[in-house]
Amino acid sequence: MVCSRALCLNTVCALFFLGLGFVELGHAKNRQDTRRWVDKSIFCYECNSEYDPRCGDPFDNATIGIVNCSLKQKPEHIEDPPTLCRKTIQTVNGKVRIIRACGYITSDRDDQECVRKTGTHEVQIKYCSCTGSLCNGSLMHRLSSNVLILLAVVGLLGIIL
């Protein structure tokens, strides 16, 4: 077998969701709507280590949900569409929780450095934002969308062969 079980499973999931995106394109009213939908789509891991320990670090992305953020209903206080993925590490009274999700508010630190914030009563938050699909997983944090697509194709070929 060419790839590990986790990589192959992720590859199949990524191809499935990319395929859903292309199926969804058929519902666009015209070519411009289709192009806009493709340009704005971003896929992210979505989980919370409080409820699923595989979401923590080290990250086990073999069975973690992948979400097309562009199809999710936006929070009502947000006007902009999702354009990034986010990984948030919360530490409250010594207890660590990791949350991976879609992101809506951009920053000049996206794809660069993580932001740390400290509050009262032993509350610390560190969040990292990235603009590539599935970039909020540990190993894939620095991979671009093109590299992910290439890995998906190679992984699929490894499954087929």
Lowest mean pLDDT among 19-28, 60-69, 79-88, 97-106: 19-28
CATH number for the domain that contains residue 124: 2.10.60.10
* Cross-strand bridge partners of residue 157: none
Backbone angles phi, psi at 118, to 5 degrees: -120, 135
Backbone angles phi, psi at 44, to 5 degrees: -135, 155
0.75 surpassed by pTM:
no
DSSP 3-state of 84: strand
> pLDDT value at position 141?
42
Instruction: Give the structural domain span for 54.
Output: 5-160
> pLDDT value at position 85?
97
Q: Which amino acid is located at 136 in the chain?
A: N
Q: Are 82 and 74 in contact (CB under 8 A)?
A: yes
* Model confidence at 30: pLDDT above 90: no
> pLDDT value at position 12?
40
Axis crossing angle, helix 5-25 with helix 31-40, rounded to the nearest 10:
150
Confidence bin at 74 (pLDDT 50/70/90): confident
> pLDDT value at position 157?
65
pLDDT digits over 44-63, tens only? 999 999 999 999 999 988 88
Looking at the structure of the chain, the number of domains it has is: 1
